[in-house]
Amino acid sequence: MVDVQHWLSALPPGVIYLIVAGVIGVESMGIPLPGEIVLVSSALLAAAGVVEPEWVATAAAAGAIVGDSIGYAVGRRGGRPLLERLGRRFPKHLGPPQLARAEQSFARHGVWAVFFGRFVALLRILAGPLAGALHVPYRRFLVANAAGGLVWAFGTTYLLFSVGRAAEHWLKDISWAGLVLAVLAGLASTWWLRRRARHLEQVEVPDEADEPVHAGDR
């Protein structure tokens, strides 16, 4: 992500906005691209004053909404065979297991899968084409798509913009002693979490022989 941010920082602001919209739009059509990485990098550039956060968020929302709509149209026309071809082309991202999980999300949550899918890497790619292939009514899809795209784009951009500004201000005023304490606290918490995770992994599952015998099993 640092490389992406460094590369974007050398471009004019208008080009950055177009790249944000284009990458997120193509990703939303069903082609695996690092849309979220581009958005995060651009939001951090906004915190540094390179670009304007409102234009980054607007570009991301436009790319998400338009890209999802194009993906919906393609999925409706191509159906499941199209999704299977995409799976063969991108087996790591859109293979049969990923497609099955996406279909389960649609079956369980309906059109809400489009809204919440904007915040999940897999569904962010498949929501449009899958909704079209499953013949979800376009009006319902568009409402969920637009709402999810706006909340995701503006929420992510302004959250990172605010955090970046606060971090920049905090790091300017912090003393070296405070910085060392913060690093040590972070290392200690990471060590504790990893130790806790290893402990949970070592918990043994009771064997069948240790399970109580019910009257009906005798």
pLDDT per position as a tens digit, 114-146:
888 888 877 788 888 888 888 888 999 999 999
- Cα 56 from chain centroid? 17
| 8 A C-beta contact, residue 60 and residue 18 | no
pLDDT per position as a tens digit, 77-125:
877 777 777 777 777 666 777 777 777 777 777 778 888 888 887 778 8
Alpha helices in 10-51 (DSSP H): 13-28, 35-47
Q: How far is CA 12 from CA 9, 19, 52, 166, in A?
A: 8, 11, 12, 25
Of 146-150, 183-187, 204-208, which gets the smallest average pLDDT? 204-208
pLDDT per position as a tens digit, 7-17:
888 899 999 99
Question: What is Dmax (Cα atoms) for the chain?
Answer: 77
